[in-house]
Amino acid sequence: MPPSLIRSLRFTGRLLAATAATVGVVAVFLALIVATDGAGSGLAAWFAAVGVAALAAMWRGRRRSWQGRLVPFLPVLVAAALTLSVCVPTAPTTRRYPAALSFVTTEHMRLSTGSRVAVYHYPPTGSGPRHPVPLVYLNGGPVRGISVLDHRFLRRLAGQGYDVYAYEQAGGGRSDLLPMDQYSVTRSVRDLGAFVDKLGRGRADVLGFSSGAVVLTRALADPAIAGHLRRAVIAEPGPVDGPTARIAGQKGRPSARGIAPAPSGPRSTHVPRYAVAFGLMRLGLLNPDNGLIGQAEGDNAFTAADLGSDTASAYCARDAHRIPVEDTEQNFSFSPAASLRIQQTIKDSASLAPQLSRSRTPTMLMIAECSSQVRQWATTVLADDPAIRRTQYMPGVGHHMWNGLGDNDQRAAAVITAFLQDEPAPLPDYPTRADIPAFLRDHK
């Protein structure tokens, strides 16, 4: 064998051994992050992993010359640098709230639950009749700011004579953060009841979208809160309880997920610290209330581009190359840790069916044709809530039904306002409870 080939093989072998050693230290570090729940911004895991690796390097080089003793430390130094990047914050660690919007005033309201939420009020406008009952909007998230796209839709409803109120749920947008252990779907439901009561306007109509629809559905199952609701619109709900959350059923017509171009802009998940933190939290290996990154830092770091695939899944495949910009960089806000915490409380909750079966609040269910939601999340609500008076299957739209494309906003508003005024529905009442088996079987 030629000497040059031998030297090349030896070099390759040493490089592979060094790479394996580096990967091993990184793996130990990640395991310790999980074991310590990220204590001390990850430094507890870092000192332990690097310390053990340094001792192992010293043991390996104990019989070598002083130059040879340095070689085993090279992988340790590389691994130490890589893992230290996970321990160093690159986003502010105190909450930086979004700037004020130019088209609506942000007010803050202290609820009886203790939550301090950001409130937006769109008084009725237009030349038509004024509707005396206030309309409250619950956005999706679960802990997310209200997008500019949603604000535009709320202005449309106000332009049709509705007195529209919207608030960002605790921890979302410009609302104050809660201690992590206080986030729960039960708290969200109590906040809705407290908000309607705080308005002092008697009963209110409520439009809940996505996770906001989950909060609304659970409120309908609570007689103390449901008594303050005149009518309810459940739009594209997520899972409302533990049994529903465990359903792995079918979805609607194909969405733009995997088809739409990747969103532009920075991503927190391209930064090692946040890639590790958010990844481990999503896998359930790191608690939302962990020692690696605080709630405020995580909120500050998370960007709209991080939700790129989720945004695409809210649109029909046919709209993949014309997905609108839903929000501005200055207004976008999402709390990954608080959202995971609330989702976990839903997964841990018992069946809502017994309480929901006693609901008496007139309700409408909206389902999108290209929904990325599991169909049984909506059909289970339809089956369990006897007060659902009509269902509107919205053709040509995805999960985000009012999206500024074509006449989608106009059609969504027509469906909502017709129900609130007890007028004939613009679309057939479909699916009904009797239609559920065929609806699921035909993959509608």
Nearest of 231, 207, 236, 235 to residue 422 by alpha carbon = 231
Phi, psi of 340 (to 5 degrees): -65, -40
Q: What CA–CA distance (Å, rounded) separates 202 from 227?
A: 10
**Contact of 160 with 205, CB cutoff 8 Å:** no
Mean pLDDT of the chain: 92
- pLDDT at residue 3 tops 70: no
* pLDDT tens per residue across span 296-355: 999 999 999 998 778 999 999 999 999 999 999 999 999 999 999 999 999 999 999 999
Question: Tens digits of per-residue pLDDT, 242-281?
Answer: 999 999 878 889 999 989 988 888 899 899 999 999 999 9
Taking residue 163's Cβ as centre, other Cβ atoms within 10 Å add up to 21
What angle, rounded to 10 degrees, do the helices at 185-199 and 211-220 form?
70
Q: Report the distance separating Cα 214 and Cα 219, nearest Å.
A: 9
pTM (2 d.p.): 0.92
Residue 337 near residue 277, CB atoms below 8 Å: no
**What topology is assigned to 107-262+312-441 in CATH?**
Rossmann fold (3.40.50)
pLDDT (tens digit per residue) in 396-442: 999 999 999 999 999 999 999 999 999 999 999 999 999 999 999 88
Q: To which residue do tokens 């409250």 refer?
A: 136
Distance (Å, whole) CA 44 – CA 87: 10
* Contact indicator for 225, 219 with CB cutoff of 8 Å: yes
Going by C-alpha positions, the residue among 109, 118, 307, 136 that lies closest to residue 219 is 136
> 320 near 256, Cβ under 8 Å?
yes
Flag whether pLDDT at 34 surpasses 90.
Answer: yes
- b/e 285-298 (16+ beta carbons within 10 angstroms → b): ebbbebbbbbbbbb
Sequence ranges of the domains in the chain: 3-84, 107-262+312-441
Q: Which amino acid is at 295?
A: Q
Nearest CA-CA partner of 185 in 212, 163, 203, 206: 212
Q: Is 17 helix (H, G, I), strand (E, B) or coil?
A: helix
Backbone angles phi, psi at 6, to 5 degrees: -65, -45
Span of 4-8, 20-24, 204-208, 283-287 with lowest mean pLDDT: 4-8
User: Can the peptide bond before residue 2 be classed as cis, meaning omega within 30 degrees of 0?
Assistant: no
pLDDT of residue 127: 81
* 104-137: pLDDT as tens digits: 999 999 999 999 999 999 999 988 889 999 999 9
pLDDT (0 to 100) of residue 153: 98
